[in-house]
Amino acid sequence: MKMHSYWLDTATPSGDHTETPIPREVDVAVVGAGFTGLSTAYHAAKAGLSVAVLEANTVVWGASGRNGGMVTNGLGMGFRDAVARYGEAKAKEYIDLYNDAVDLIEQLVVENDLDVDFERRGKLILASKESHFEGVRKTSEALRRLAGHDTEVLDREQIRAEVGSSAFFGGFTETRSAAVHVAKFGHALAALAIREGASIHENAEVTDLRRIGSGTTHELVTTRGTIRAGKVVVGTSGYTGRPFGWLQRRVVPVGSFITVTEPLPKDLAHELLPNRRVATDTFNLLHYFRLTPDDRLLFGGRARFALSDPASDRKSGEILVAARDAIYPQLRDVTTEYMWGGLVDISMDRMVHAGERNGLFYSMAYSGHGVQMATYMGKVMADVVAGRPEANPWRDLKNPWIPGYFGNPWLHLRAGGTWYGLKDRMS
């Protein structure tokens, strides 16, 4: 059993960035070499700005290299919930951004001929209980009527043909979503940023920063040296900590855990997901699954509300294997080769938050939908630091502090796990 990310294990790094000299001064310093940071660096450098990316670990070490590789066009809070909260027009505007975000990834892949296993086959939303099916049907209808999505409701027998399992009570298909090898894509973004003149600095954790005057210029102290930047963009998501306390108090890091099987025989892989769509169920402690480019079944989910560490990853992975085998009994004799975890950043309202605070620019709170939106927001933040704040589509959303949260998520995770587990049992 390999207790680390399949994606990171099967991608060629963009280079060794552990000893690249940190410049004295740049136009833009980007904190974090995940999709937000790398996309910001690429688009800002392409626009002619000098850019340095400061990463505490290595390129796509965090959530960007530990997720399911699903490039979907759904809001973190659910479309019908967004309609209820913001109204039809605003909810459509928000979900349209996710369509644009998926399009951006496809555009980057096509224009730069990126070898990142990008496939746009659509997604499945699966009713985990019979009582969930009516909600699934209403969501499909709302997406089709209000947002113009190409959705189709499927009954239990039709869904069985889509997933090779009798575990679900129906669902719907949506055609715009995609899948990608996230580590290959992350390293490709890094290479594009370097090609445009940006520099990337791994093992360069930002330990302190000081604002120069009342503007946006900051001096950043890292474990590898000090740098001054005219603008600073923070893209650390669920791994946000000191010295970014104001941001840290606005997202709870929640573990998301993943297992990956050994390569499956072609006929078995086809039986499980014949159309190679990405899939997710309707539990709050949800499951999601897809085929990898080499025909393994990736099966992930919250499993439980916990942080990620070796013991937690194994315990959560074992829960996921049991859930996977209940859905797919035909996999009970298949070897699980990978098991790992990572942190997603969930905000109080489960919406994206981006903007500027005390001279620092930030984009975060993707709530488990970060592959596409983090990439998209990197492009947006490059526009923002270039002097176009109106480019930020989330700028008018309030960014609430999570009550009682000061950076230690234990109590909130325990409460959240109890609450969402009860909702799943009672739904």
pLDDT of residue 417: 44
pLDDT at 427: 60
User: pLDDT of 341-364, one tens digit each?
Assistant: 998 888 889 899 999 999 999 999
- Average pLDDT on 229-242 reads 94
Question: Computed from CA positions of residues 106, 109, 113, 117, in that sequence, does the dihedral angle turn out positive or negative?
Answer: negative
The stretch 373-388 carries a mean pLDDT of 98
Lowest mean pLDDT among 4-8, 280-284, 376-380: 280-284
Q: Would you state the pLDDT for residue 411?
A: 47
For residue 76, name the pLDDT band (cuts at 50, 70, 90): confident
Residue 406 has what pLDDT? 61
More confident residue, 304 or 212: 212
Confidence of residue 415 (pLDDT cuts 50, 70, 90): very low
Token readout for 283 is 């539990």
Where do you find CATH 3.50.50.60 in the chain?
6-66+183-251+348-408
Q: How far is CA 276 from CA 121, 248, 265, 291, 292, in A?
A: 6, 37, 15, 6, 9
- Could you tell me which residue, 342 or 220, shows the higher pLDDT? 220
pLDDT at 301 over 80: yes
Query: What pLDDT is recorded for position 416?
Result: 46
Residue 40 has pLDDT above 60, yes or no: yes
Q: How confident is the model at residue 368 (pLDDT cuts 50, 70, 90)?
A: confident
pLDDT at 420: 42
pLDDT at 403 over 80: no
For the chain, give the mean pLDDT. 92
Per-residue model confidence (pLDDT) at position 44: 98
Question: In this predicted structure, what is the pLDDT of residue 13?
Answer: 95
Count how many residues are written for the chain. Answer: 427
For the domain with range 6-66+183-251+348-408, which CATH number is right: 3.50.50.60, 3.90.930.12, 1.10.10.60, 3.40.50.1970? 3.50.50.60
Q: Does residue 139 surpass a pLDDT of 90?
A: yes
More confident residue, 97 or 303: 97
- Work out the percent of the chain whose per-residue pLDDT is above 70: 93
The reported pTM is: 0.94
Mean per-residue pLDDT, 120-142 = 96
pLDDT-above-90 percentage for the chain:
82
pLDDT on residue 423: 47
pLDDT at 22: 97
